[in-house]
Structure 1
Amino acid sequence: MVSARGLVILPSTIYTALLSRPSTPDPKCAPGGNFDLSHWSLQLPTGSAKGINVIPSKDLQGCHGYSGPHFHTHRSSGLMVLEAPGNPDVTGCVTTQGSRHCRSELRETNPDGRNAAWSSSGTNVLEVTMAVTEADDGTFGTAIGQVFARSKPLAAIYYSQKGNMTVDVKPGPLGHDHIRGFPVAQVPLGQRFTFRLSFSDSILNVAVDGKEAPLNLPRWPADECSFKLGNYNQGRSGDQSVVQVAEFTLKHASAASGRGRDSLLGMLGGPLAVFSFSLASYM
C-alpha cells in the first residue's frame, strides 16, 4: 500500500525472509558484496547546495556495488566501514536540509527503493554489531542508530570519544520530556558491541549487549517510521568519526500476527519479516 506521501506502508501480513551474506567476507568486494543491502539506501556527506548524494539500494548491491571514501570495505577484515567528516564549516562536507552535521548513514528502504514506512504498532527491531574506531568530539558523540517517523527523528543512540553510549528521545505526544544523554553503556573505543533498537507495540526500547536501558517510556503511536544506522557525526571540530559494522538484523512483524516477536528466523509462510546481514566472527 502507498500512502499519500508516496511512501510504501508495510501491509498487515508480511512475507518471511532470511537474507544473509557469505560467511567468509571478501575484502576486495564493495560492502554490498558482503552484506545484503536490498533494504537500505546510503546517505553521504557529499553533494551540492541542492542536497546530499544518496546512493539507492540497487546501486549498493553486489561485489561491484557502490564504494567510496566514506563507505567501503575494510581491506583486511571485510567489515563495512562508514566514515563521516566533522564540522561542515571546517571540512566543507554537505549536510541534509535542516541539519548542521554530516553523515554516512544507511536509511531503511523497501525492495522497490522507496523509503520504508511502517507502523509502530507492530514488531520493529534493528540490531547491529559494530565498533566505533574513531568518535567525534560532540557532546554525546556520533549517532550510530536512529528511528524516524514522518521524516522526523524520534530517538537516536550516540557513542562518545570516552566510549559512553547514550540515548536521546524527543518529546512524545503524551507529554514525556525530551530525554538527553540517557546513559545506556560504556564500551571502550574500538571494541565490538551490539545495540538493539526496538519500536514495537508503540513502545521504544534500547539495549546494549543484552542489557536494556530503563527508559520506561509510555506508548507512542506513530506511522511512516523507519530505521537508520551508521555514522552521523556531531563534532565541533573537523575530526572525522569512523564506524565498522560486522552484522545487522532488521525485523518487522504485523501487530495482528502476535507471533515470532523475539525470533530472528520466524516461520516460513508466516507474517514475520526478518532480514539478517552478518559478518560474524570477523571483528
Structure 2
Amino acid sequence: MSYSKQAICTTLLYFMVSGVISANETRALDPKAPPGHNFDLLDWNISLPIDTNKDGKVDTIPEAYLEKGFQIAPYFYTREDGGMVFTAFVDGVKTSKNTKYTRTELREMLRRGDNRVKVQGVTKNNWIFSSVRGQEHRKAGGIDGRLEATVAVNNVTITGKPSQVGRVIIGQIHAKDDEPARLYYRKLPNNTKGVVYLAHEPRKGDEQYYEFNGSRSSNAKDPVDGIALGEKFSYIIDVLDNTLTVTLSREGKADITHVVDMKDSGYHKRDQYMYFKAGVYNQNNSGDPKDYVQATFYRLKNSHKGYEH
C-alpha cells in the first residue's frame, strides 16, 4: 500500500515537519532528528515489512513523508549516534507473492514527490544506462548512476538453513525485472567477522559473483580481512555505459574494486529502466520468526548525469 496522511496518523506513526536539509548541505548527524532531517530522502520511498491496514501488501511510505520526518521503530529510525537504522525480521510481510524475503529498504524515486510522474517504466522517476539508444535519454530521469554509502551492519540472522543464515543485501541496482547489482554482507554464526560480495544478474544466463574480502561460502572460515558487526565501511556502486564498478572502502585499508562488463547482460535494451535501493533486504526466510537483520547508514548519496536536485 501507499500511505495516506490519515493512515499514518491512525497508526500513530511518528513524524516531524521542520528542519529538512537540502542535498547541498552537510552537517553532523543529529541523534534527535528523524532520518529525513539528517538525510535527503525526497528522492526515495521506503518499503516496510509490515501491513498495518491488513490489505495483504507491505506498507510503502512515499517520498514526501520521509522528507517530513517519518520514522517507526524498530524498523526505520534514528540511532543514538545519528545514523539511519533499517531492520527486517524473518517473519515480516513480503513485498509481493514472488518475493521470498522481507525488507526495510529505500527505493530511489527521482520524481521527488511529483505524483504525476509514473513510478515504473522509462520515465523521469527512473534512470537508464547510456548504452541505451533512442528517445529514452530524453524520457529518463537520469543517465548512468552512482550510489555512495557508509554503513555498519549491526545484526544478521543466526538461525535457519546454512545456505541462508547471516546474509543481508545492503545496496542494489534494480532494473525492470532483474538486478544488475546486489551488494551483500554475510557473517556466519561461528565467525567473528563477515564479508562483502557482489552479485550481477544478466537478463539471461547465470548470476555472477564477486567476493571482496573473503568467501561467501556457507562453511567459510573466519575471514582474515573481514568486517565485524558494528564496524563502519563504505561502498560505491557506479554504472557508466555498460560498465559496473563496485568499490569497498575501509579506514586504514586499501580499497577493493570489482569491474563488471555488462555489454552482454541485456540492459542496453530500450525498455530497461533502473533505480537504486538501499537498506536491508533479509536473505533468510527459514530462521526463527524474530531473528533479524539490521544496518545503520551514515551516508547515502545518489547521482546521475542529467539529474539535478
Global fold match (TM > 0.5) = yes
Q: Which residue in 2 is equivalent to 1:9? A: none
Cα shift at 1:65: 2.8
Counterpart Cα distance in 1 of 2:292 and 2:37: 25
Runs of 4+ in 1 over 6 A off after TM superposition: none
Query: Matched residue of 1:249: which SS?
Result: strand
Structure 1 counterpart of 2:168, from 118, 127, 142: 142
Structure 1 counterpart of 2:258, from 204, 213, 224: 213
Structure 1 counterpart of 2:62, from 52, 56, 66: 56
Cα shift at 1:51: 1.2
Counterpart Cα distance in 2 of 1:94 and 1:26: 30
Residues 36-94 of structure 1: CA deviation (Å, up to 9, x unaligned): 101000000111453111000111113x43333200001x21110001102x3xxxx10
Counterpart Cα distance in 1 of 2:240 and 2:308: 14
Counterpart Cα distance in 2 of 1:213 and 1:82: 26
Asked if 2 retains the 8 angstrom alpha-carbon contact of 1:140 and 1:166, the reply is no
Q: TM-score scaled by structure 2? A: 0.68
Asked if 2 retains the 8 angstrom alpha-carbon contact of 1:131 and 1:189, the reply is yes
Where do 1:253-264 residues align within 5 Å? 253=305
Query: Matched residue of 1:168: which SS?
Result: strand
Q: Which residue in 2 is equivalent to 1:261? A: none
Asked if 1 retains the 8 angstrom alpha-carbon contact of 2:178 and 2:201, the reply is no
Asked if 1 retains the 8 angstrom alpha-carbon contact of 2:156 and 2:166, the reply is no
Where do 1:47-196 residues align within 5 Å? 47=51, 48=54, 50-62=56-68, 64-74=69-79, 76-86=80-90, 88=91, 93-97=92-96, 98-110=98-110, 111=112, 112=114, 115=119, 116-121=125-130, 122-137=143-158, 138=164, 141-161=167-187, 162-173=193-204, 177-180=206-209, 182-185=210-213, 186-196=226-236
Structure 2 counterpart of 1:234, from 250, 272, 283: 283
Q: Which residue in 2 is equivalent to 1:243? A: 295
Q: Does residue 43 in structure 1 map to residue 47 in structure 2?
A: yes
Q: Which residue in 1 is equivalent to 2:9? A: none
Q: Which residue in 2 is equivalent to 1:266? A: none
Q: Which residue in 1 is equivalent to 2:14? A: none
Q: TM-score scaled by structure 1? A: 0.74
Counterpart Cα distance in 1 of 2:40 and 2:150: 15
Seq. identity, %: 27
Relative to 1, partners in 2 of residues 1:46 and 1:21: Cα closer, same or farther, differing over 3 Å? farther
Asked if 2 retains the 8 angstrom alpha-carbon contact of 1:31 and 1:67, the reply is no
How many residues are matched? 230
What code does the residue aligned with 1:166 have?
A: Y
Deviates more, 1:227-236 or 1:202-211: 202-211
Asked if 1 retains the 8 angstrom alpha-carbon contact of 2:242 and 2:262, the reply is no
Asked if 1 retains the 8 angstrom alpha-carbon contact of 2:184 and 2:197, the reply is yes
CA RMSD of aligned residues (A): 2.2
Whichever structure has more strand as a proportion of its residues is 1
Counterpart Cα distance in 2 of 1:59 and 1:170: 32
Query: Matched residue of 1:81: which SS?
Result: strand
Counterpart Cα distance in 2 of 1:140 and 1:234: 8
Asked if 2 retains the 8 angstrom alpha-carbon contact of 1:107 and 1:228, the reply is yes
The gaps in structure 1 that reach 5 residues or longer are 1-17, 254-270, 276-283
Q: Larger relative CO (CA 8 A, sep 6+): 1 or 2?
A: 1
Counterpart Cα distance in 1 of 2:264 and 2:245: 11
Counterpart Cα distance in 1 of 2:280 and 2:308: 23
What code does the residue aligned with 2:256 have?
A: K
What code does the residue aligned with 2:71 have?
A: Y
